[in-house]
Amino acid sequence: MYSQELKNKWHDDPKNWKLGIFYFNKEDKRIVISKRLKLFGWTLNFANPLSYIIMLALVLVILFLKHPHIKTNYPFG
């Protein structure tokens, strides 16, 4: 494991932030990290291939919920 000091160094390094919003660091094995401004939540490490699987799953869930495949005949539905 890496020390918290090293993780903070990676997080604060502007070279690890593409367009200032996308975290991309191959050395960092974490998938989810805090955003540059920690107040704004979390982001994915896009250097980790698992982050793309997570993004795809999230998009599929949103599409599935937006277009329900079951039609109901309820009078109020």
The model's pTM is: 0.76
Flag whether pLDDT at 16 surpasses 90. Answer: yes
Sign of the Cα torsion 40, 2, 53, 64 reads negative
What is the average pLDDT across 49-73?
84
CB-based burial, 16-44: b 16+ in 10 Å, e otherwise: bbeeeeebbbeebeebebeebeeeeeebb
Return the pLDDT at 77: 52
| Percentage of the residues of the chain whose pLDDT score is greater than 90 | 68
Amino acid at 36: R
Amino acid at 21: I
What is the average pLDDT across 25-47?
93
Return the pLDDT at 75: 65
